[in-house]
Amino acid sequence: MASEISQDFSPFLRIYEDGRIERLIGTATVPASLDDEQTGVASRDVAISSDPAVSARLYLPSGRPEKLPLLVYFHGGGFCIETASSPTYHNYLNAVASEAGVVVVSVEYRRAPEDPLPAAYDDSWAALKWVASHAAGDGPDEWLNEHADLKRVFLAGDSAGANIAHHMGLRIGSDKLDGLAFAGIALVHPFFWGSEPVGTESTEAGRRAWTVGFLKMTCPTISGADDPIINPAADPGLGRLGCGKVLVFVAEKDGLRSRGWYYEEVLKKSGWRGSVGVVETKGEDHVFHLMNPSCENAVDLMKRLVKFLNE
């Protein structure tokens, strides 16, 4: 007899009473390639830690003899779906590496519900420490030793990955990483929330309750919708963000749109001394640029990101 569904978080996943987890989307993978057909970018997978298992996919644009900025990227997927080897992220980061002329470290972190938060944060921090081990030019990976300028390091991510990038920025501000200089953080359609609606955010009780339930699935120890894990406005340490500039991307039709604007507002009031800006894309929804990367608005978003990484 088939096990009954215990929790249904469609369209992401279902959890069954026997403990089985069925991911409904974000399960496809593609291998790395030393010569991408479209961009000429080389990619390969590297192990960062065996216990816990943390890895990354590296991207190196071709024909660039100089040291390049380093982008550490955290994929989205609600902390529970997608991977660094997803075709969506593989194709996107090939394009970013090529167009921006940056070395990319795309972090493969543990996912909920098998490994709830803060596992993804812990793994992402382990990846940043691994990057820092290359500061003297004698780290374990030759691509980073030879091609990455660790005095120009950027963090970025989309949705839940943007949430991770934000938390890594906070930890950098307090813990530091010797040998690295963090230039900026790009947050694309960041997954932030709160108990009280802001801006054009939904006031519908069922929608808000679903989000809180989803958050508790990803982090059973969360205190609620105003936990600093998900609501930066509730974090008294927000002002310690460890970089000089932040760019937030939001989309007009995205239910998380107003949280991105609110992030700018609270960051400016936090005592942080950097510069923050917001770019809103009209007529688009959450992570549209990943779903339709060739559309005019996605091309514009890419241009703005490239400019941010090269300023």
Residue 63 confidence (pLDDT)? 87
pLDDT digits (tens, 9 = 90+) for 219-258: 999 999 999 999 999 999 999 999 999 999 999 999 999 9
Q: List C-alpha distances in Å: 153 to 30, 175, 244, 282.
A: 26, 16, 11, 30
Structure tokens at 291: 């779903």
Given the residues 147, 167, 286, 289, the one annotated as active site: 286
Find the Cα–Cα–Cα–Cα dihedral 232, 291, 254, 278, rounded to 10°: 60
Q: What's the angle, vertex CA 185, arms to CA 46 and CA 242, rounded to 5?
A: 95
User: Which pair of structure tokens corresponds to residue 166?
Assistant: 């934000």
Parent domain of 109:
5-310
The SS3 call for residue 169 is helix
Residue 287 CA, chain-centre distance (Å), reads 12
The CATH number covering residue 163 comes to 3.40.50.1820
pLDDT under 50: residue ranges of the chain: 1
Q: Are 85 and 31 a contacting pair, CB within 8 Å?
A: yes
What's the confidence (pLDDT) of residue 2? 67
Q: Which of 90, 141, 254, 289 is catalytic?
A: 254
Catalytic residue among 159, 227, 258, 289: 159
DSSP state for residue 2 in the 8-state scheme: P
Of 256, 60, 77, 257, residue with least CA distance to 157: 77
Cβ atoms 59, 41 nearer than 8 A: yes
Q: Is 50 part of the annotated catalytic residue set? A: no
Residue 62 appears among annotated catalytic residues: no
- What is the distance between the alpha carbons of residues 301 and 279, in angstroms, rounded to a whole number? 9
Tell me the C-alpha distance between 165 and 74, whole Å.
7
| CA count, 13 A, side-chain hemisphere, 168 | 33
pLDDT at 131: 98
Strand order of the sheet with strand 21-23? 5-9, 13-16, 21-23
Q: Is 90 a catalytic residue?
A: no
From its phi and psi, is residue 182 left (phi > 0), alpha (psi between -120 and 50) or beta?
Answer: beta
